[in-house]
Amino acid sequence: GAGVSQSPSNKVTEKGKDVELRCDPISGHTALYWYRQRLGQGLEFLIYFQGNSAPDKSGLPSDRFSAERTGESVSTLTIQRTQQEDSAVYLCASSLDRALYGYTFGSGTRLTVV
């Protein structure tokens, strides 16, 4: 597609439920990133996929967070047993190859845990 597509755009969930967030990157972009943005704060790196290489999971805050990507296509970020502190905007970005080519971000999924 023309841009990075994320769904849903908004998600309200009850504490303790699992949620799944989806990212559809730009076609041909081999790199895909997930970031978290808490209200009024910066961008917190979560995970990075590059082609068929093992993902860089160094930013995942706990084992409740996981992500998958099949090849160079769609990625899903799963948060299990959601907590109120998980409330944030989850941003997905894709890049042609590496970070130095610049990211294209999606509009994000606003997650609210009540």
Partner 1 sequence: QQQVKQSPQSLIVQKGGISIINCAYENTAFDYFPWYQQFPGKGPALLIAIRPDVSEKKEGRFTISFNKSAKQFSLHIMDSQPGDSATYFCAATARGGNKLTFGTGTQLKVEL
Tokens linked to 55: 């993902």
DSSP line for 8-62:
-SEEEE-TT--EEEEEE--TT--EEEEEEE-TT--EEEEEEEETTSPPB-TT--S
CB of 23 to partner 1, least distance (A): 11
Per-residue x/- marks for partner 1, 46-85, CB under 8 A? Answer: --x-x-----x-----------------------------
Is 41 a binder of partner 1 (CB under 8 A)? yes
How far is the C-alpha of 71 from the C-alpha of 81, rounded, in Å?
27
Is 30 a binder of partner 1 (CB under 8 A)? no
Q: Cβ distance 18 to 79 under 8 Å?
A: yes
Kindly tell me which of 38 and 81 has the beta carbon lying closer to partner 1: 38
Is 12 a binder of partner 1 (CB under 8 A)? no
Question: Residue 1 forms beta bridges with which residues?
Answer: none
Residues near partner 1, by CB under 8 A: 4, 31, 33, 35, 40-43, 45, 48, 50, 56, 91, 93, 98-100, 102-108
